[in-house]
Amino acid sequence: MNTFVIAYDVGTTAMKTCLFELSDKIQLIADAVEGYELHMMENGGVEQEPDDWWRAMCNTTKKVLAESGVSTHRIAGLSFCGQMQGLVLVDKKGAPVRRGMSYMDNRAKQELKEGLGTGIKIAGLNGYKLINSILIGGAVAASVKDPVWKYKWVERHEPDNFQKVYKWLDVKEYLILKTTGKFIMTEDSAFATLLYDTRRGRKEFSKKVCAMLGVEMQHLPTVVKCTDLVGRVTSEAAAELALPVGIPVFGGGGDASLIGVGAGAVKEGSTHIYLGTSGWVSTVVGRQALDIKNMIASIVGAQPEYFNYFAELETAGKCLEWVRDHLALDEINIYLRNKDSKSPETVKMNLYDYMMQAIKDVPPGSNGVIFTPWLHGNRCPFEDPNARGIFFNISIETGKTELIHAVLEGVCYHLRWQLEASERKVKASKTIRLVGGGALAPLTCQILADVLGREIETVDNPQNTGAVGAAIVTAVGLKLIKGITDADNLITAKERYLPNQKNTIIYDQYFPVFKSLYYNNKNAFSLLNG
């Protein structure tokens, strides 16, 4: 008898819940999406209501069960793929003491400065803390968006809330708590705090790093493996989810860990690019490597024996959402009046297709227009929360289609910049798996192949790879498959895109101009946004 599992993909702006049937393949039976608000604040804060995640989880669970007709008693396990480096502080009863702070939150500039910007410096950071952080954890909390500085911000600015804190959780860990009553953190989430000791035989929060950065050890939860059975659905959670009591719940992982698993990029040397709300370039490696200058590190993933050499772009698909809402508004209103859509996700996907169709004839290079995709600052290959988007080289002949096309190219230029920075220390694979919503559009895939000058592969349902990764974790936990590397056989390429050399030559000419736009405007960004 085949096995049914539910995987929750907890994204930046929406929860996607997927019901999978596991056999000799992974088959999506039903899915449902529900969005939630992202609170953007003038001081750089970005917050979300944790109970919004839980409400979305409950509502979408009921929807997939109703749509599929699968008996709830056939659900063998639950797991999660979640946005990472959030900060969810809860009291002893598991209630949030304040809104969750997103990975995008960059208000803790003073805390970072005081924490790492004093004393004898190496690469602009406190030398003692830098060296010890690298020796112990293989990385350092050098970004204002790293969660430890959010934690210190709450300690300084909200002492009453800080006094209530029992445990520090990430986003999916809060949902695990709501589902099982257990205060835990998976290894990849623990690493993402940059307080975790990754040395062989240790694998625990480091007392030394916590002491250096001023973190109270009692606030940190128990660490578990991504494939571990962490608890079972409680009676209270079962009533809200409309599921039976006692269903096994597995640790799951962060999006940076599981999207690569869902892409089938699980063997050493495999590279994938994710193009969703955020974006990244990631290569599976057997050892830790760190590039402080370019803000790239080997992060702990779902596979204990490997790391992911990871370079992040915070606003990738988010740039296309901005285009949709602000540049293509007229066309979208016309479109909506003439189309029937079944769900918000269908609307979104169809609108994306509509935009792609509108710009398909724009030539490579967008008739000279270049866009920078730093709508909320940037982390890699340069850390600058003040960086912003630019349309460069607009002329009187420039139209809306060129602008939209330039946004797509700008995201691809930045991914190329990250890939080149990554390859200074780690060799990427010749063929790269592209996943995320951006992989749904052939035009995007081809532009990326042309900009990178490399073959691009896509997979079935590339927008669901995080959930697929969570399903694979569940399959390992249920002992249906031996290990995560089995994903290499379960997930194969669907489409391939070869670079057009004529287009690549054009992009090679434009790429240095793209990079220069940051360095030439760095001071202006600081003046306007610092």
User: Alpha-carbon distance 383 to 387, whole Å?
Assistant: 9
- Determine, yes or no, domain membership for 272: no
Whole-number pLDDT of residue 131: 84
Pair (168, 26) in one structural domain:
yes
Residue-wise pLDDT tens digits, 205-240: 999 999 999 999 999 999 999 999 999 999 999 999
Place of tokens 């057009």: 500
Please tell me the predicted confidence (pLDDT) of residue 335.
47
Range from 189-198, 311-320, 518-527 carrying the lowest mean pLDDT: 311-320
Lowest mean pLDDT segment, chosen from 317-326, 379-388, 467-476: 317-326
* Per-residue pLDDT at 1 exceeds 60: no
Same domain, 251 and 391: no
Axis-axis angle for helices 127-137, 109-116 (nearest 10): 90
Q: What's the confidence (pLDDT) of residue 487?
A: 83
Residue where the block lists tokens 């990871």? 310
Three-state SS sequence of 121-138: EECCEEHHHHHHHHHHHC
Q: What is the CATH number of the domain that holds 27?
A: 3.30.420.40
69 Cβ contact list (under 8 Å, min separation 6) = none
- Residue 519: pLDDT above 60? yes
pLDDT tens-digit profile of 7-58?
999 998 899 999 999 988 899 999 999 999 999 998 999 999 999 999 999 9
* Among 19, 4, 9, 7, residue whose Cα is nearest residue 64: 19
Where residue 331 falls among pLDDT bands split at 50, 70, 90? Answer: low
Q: What are phi and psi of 438, to 5 degrees?
A: -60, -25
pLDDT band at 334 (very low <50, low <70, confident <90, very high): very low
Give the residue-averaged pLDDT of 281-304. 88
Segment 346-365, tens digit of pLDDT: 545 556 677 888 899 999 99
Domain contains 427: yes
Answer yes or no: are the C-beta atoms of 187 and 300 closer than 8 Å.
yes
Same domain, 515 and 413: yes
How far apart (Å, rounded) are the C-alpha atoms in residues 83 and 502? 38
96 and 177 housed in the same domain: yes
pLDDT in tens, 365-400: 999 999 999 998 998 999 898 999 999 999 999 998
Treating both helix axes as pointing N-terminal to C-terminal, what angle do 344-359 and 317-326 enclose, rounded to 10 degrees? 80
Q: Does the bond joining 363 to the residue before it have cis omega, within 30 degrees of 0?
A: no
Rounded-to-integer distance, Cα 420 and Cα 427, Å: 10
Judge if 370 and 256 occupy the same domain: no
* Least confident window among 8-22, 312-326, 493-507, 515-529: 312-326
Average pLDDT, the chain: 91
**Pair (252, 116) in one structural domain:** yes
Domain that holds residue 92: 3-264+463-490
Predicted local confidence at residue 87, as pLDDT: 97
Give CA–CA dist 224/80, Å, rounded. 14
The answer to whether residue 497 is domain-embedded is no
Question: Do 176 and 249 belong to one domain?
Answer: yes
Q: Exposed, middle or buried, 201 (CB in 10 Å: 0-12/13-18/19+)? A: exposed
Whether residue 292 is predicted with pLDDT greater than 60 in this model: the reply is yes
Largest CA distance in the chain: 65
Establish if 33 belongs to a structural domain.
Answer: yes
Count the neighbouring beta carbons within 10 Å of the beta carbon of residue 450. Answer: 25
Query: What mean pLDDT do residues 500-521 have?
Result: 98
Give domain status of residue 409, yes or no: yes
Q: Do 171 and 254 belong together in one domain?
A: yes
Query: What stretches of 342-483 show up as alpha helix (H) in DSSP?
Result: 344-359, 400-422, 442-452, 465-477
Q: What angle do CA 191, 127, 197 make, to 5 degrees?
A: 20
In this structure, the number of other CB atoms found within 10 A of the CB of residue 485 comes to 18
Q: Angle 519-84-157 (CA atoms, 0-180°, nearest 5)?
A: 80
Percent of the chain at pLDDT > 70 equals: 95
Cross-strand bridge partners of residue 298:
309
Please state the domain count of the chain: 2
User: Could you give the percent of the chain with pLDDT greater than 90?
Assistant: 70
481 with 419, same domain? no
Question: Is 224 within the bounds of a domain?
Answer: yes
Neighbours of 2 (CB within 10 A): 12
Average pLDDT over residues 428-449: 94
Specify whether 230 is located in the same domain as 331.
no
Has residue 414 been placed in a domain? yes
Residue 210 domain-assigned (yes or no): yes
**What are the angstrom distances between the C-alpha of 385 and each of 276, 409, 488?**
20, 22, 37
Residues 483 and 419 in one domain: no
Answer whether residue 71 shows pLDDT above 70: yes
Name the CA radius of gyration of the chain, rounded: 22
What pLDDT does residue 333 have?
52
pLDDT reported for residue 488: 82
* 515 and 477 co-located in one domain: no
Higher per-residue pLDDT: 436 or 200: 436
8 Å CB contact between 404 and 328: yes
> What are 127-184's pLDDT values in tens digits?
788 888 888 887 888 888 899 999 999 999 999 999 999 999 999 999 999 999 999 9
| Dihedral of the alpha carbons of 61, 62, 68, 69, in degrees to the nearest 10 | 140
